[in-house]
Chains A and B, each alone.
Chain A
Amino acid sequence: MGVLTVFLELLKDRKTFLDEIHQQVQLKTKISALLLCSFICYSLYGAIIGSFSSPQQAIASAIKLPALYLLTLVVCLPALYIFNVLFGSTKSIAQHFTYVLSTASVIALLLCGFAPVTLFFLITINSHQDYSFFLLLNVAIFTLTGIFGVSFLYQAMRPDELELDRNVKLRAKILRLWLMLYGFVGSQLGWTLRPFFGSPVSNFEVFRPRSGNFLSGVWNAVMNLMTGAG
């Protein structure tokens, strides 16, 4: 089974793919393939959004965007696994990792789907005046793809109601809480690793100094758009 075959299988036949994870079929191959393919998709999208300001930013974002998604998974995975096992889950950590990686891959694929739209706006807008618009457009794309990815994970990992386990409802709650944690950690890591777009009015920088948080950044962008500050 090749790397691309695994990725295409996730696209074409998700039910079989998830069943195979459940039965622990070729987990190592799946993990490797999903890691590599999602990394490539994120890098591609990162390069597109980074090219909004400069080629250097394009390279930096091609590294930082996959890091944002994959590191968030690595940071949040132990909490999900330990709590699930504590409350009766029999799935291994490799199975948990494959599930969350599948989610990251779905998000990566959706981002790649939006790549032509982002590229279209990148070419047609004025980089100096429409910085906030481009920023908010991408926040919307990331939010949308994130919601789809998270709902995929919820459907895939939700404990079966027919399971004869007293903790099934509790595990479903844990999964919902974990998804919130995932979103929270992801947004904060995204804020830490910024800039992804690069401001057209300032010089290139790999990381910005620590200040504020993700929500304050989005609020500032909305205010700028409202007041026409660009």
Chain B
Amino acid sequence: MSADWQNLRLSPREIEQWSGLEVGDRWVGGVLLGIYRFAKLQHPLDWVGWVLFELATAALLFVFTLPIGLGIARMIPSNRLMLMGMGVSTLGGMVALYGYRWRKGRSLQTLLHLFEEIDRFHEVLGAIAVVDQLAVAQGKAAPAEHHETLQLTRDCLITGLKTERILREQRNWMVQDGSTHLEQSLALLKTLDLQMQADEYAEILQQSVAIAERVQQELYGTGKVGNPISMKRYESMKRYE
């Protein structure tokens, strides 16, 4: 049974496929240029890890500013000026990086909430697997009544991921064209709907006429509709009844 619960888990590859973003334990959308999931930092050591990571990122940026330092050193032989140049460039780089992350983070708020829900779902799966193992250890049959509910939750989460991706990727369209485009599109849709309704009525009317013609042909013979000979035949038939 626990294997079934494991099958319900959403793997990182699946999440990546549905959300269109790289997802890690702590990151969304890559490591250096991605968003840190602060909700996952629960212990002080996690925060220490985050600080160390940011320091390493700053040091890496500092290394890449070495050509600037070399250029300054070639022009003005002063170590202090060279270090200042490299330091200012690193600071600028870090500000740009944080700005980029902040902007990206704003657009990924919904996805981050979804990830929290996915984490809770995985915790529930883990708890159920433990309960199952306990039941099996006690010689009881593992309860299976939650399976359908969990499958439904999983489907909802997948739908949520897919919907968020569509909304995120279509945001540019929404922002650029705004409500005007939406109103025009709605008006067009209404027109199309009315046209379709009118077409349907026309088709129904045509079908009704065709049926009526066929009925009259059956009743009055092969002659044209409203033929007086056929009417006579109809009256004679009525007399025999």
Contact = CB atoms under 8 A, between A and B. Distances in A.
Interface residues of B, number: 30
A126 to B, nearest CB: 29
A26 B67 contact: no
A70 interface: yes
A206 B22 contact: no
A63 B63 contact: yes
Interface stretch (B31-39, B143-151, B157-165): B31-39
A36 B64 contact: no
Nearest to B73: A207
B220 interface: no
A35 B31 CA distance: 10
Interface string B66-77: 110110011000
A39 B60 contact: yes
Given A2-B26, A39-B63, A206 B82 contact: yes
Given A28-B30, A29-B24, A35 B79 contact: no
A32 B34 CA distance: 10
B70 A193 contact: yes
Given A33-B31, A39-B63, A2 B24 contact: yes
Given A29-B24, A36-B31, A193 B63 contact: no
Nearest to A63: B63
Interface string B15-55: 01000001011110111111000000000000000000100
A210 B66 CA distance: 16
B57 interface: yes
A28 B29 contact: yes
Contact of B64 (A1, A32, A70, A207): A70
Interface residues of A, number: 27
Contact of A67 (B16, B66, B74): B66
Contact of A36 (B12, B60, B66, B79): B60
Given A29-B30, A35-B32, A206-B79, A1 B63 contact: no
B25 A32 contact: no
B56 interface: yes
Contacts of A207: 70, 73-74
Nearest to B30: A28
Interface in B185-240: none
B148 to A, nearest CB: 32
A40 B34 contact: no
Given A3-B31, A36-B56, A26 B22 contact: yes
A197 B12 CA distance: 45
Interface in A205-228: 206-207, 210
Interface in B55-112: 56-57, 59-60, 62-64, 66-67, 69-70, 73-74, 79, 82
Nearest to A3: B31
A98 B139 CA distance: 52
Contact of B66 (A1, A32, A63): A63
A29 B26 CA distance: 11
Contacts of B66: 63-64, 67, 71, 193
Interface string A162-187: 00000000000000000000000000
B59 to A, nearest CB: 7
B34 A28 contact: yes
B199 to A, nearest CB: 47
A32 B33 contact: yes
Interface of B: 12-13, 16, 22, 24-27, 29-34, 53, 56-57, 59-60, 62-64, 66-67, 69-70, 73-74, 79, 82
25 contacts: A2-B25, A2-B26, A26-B16, A26-B22, A28-B29, A28-B33, A28-B34, A31-B30, A31-B32, A32-B31, A33-B31, A35-B32, A36-B32, A36-B57, A36-B60, A39-B56, A39-B59, A39-B60, A43-B59, A63-B62, A63-B66, A66-B60, A70-B64, A193-B70, A207-B74
Interface of A: 1-3, 25-29, 31-33, 35-36, 39-40, 43, 63-64, 66-67, 70-71, 192-193, 206-207, 210
Given A28-B31, A29-B27, 15 more contacts: A1-B25, A3-B53, A26-B22, A27-B22, A28-B33, A29-B24, A32-B32, A33-B31, A36-B60, A43-B59, A66-B63, A67-B63, A70-B64, A206-B79, A206-B82
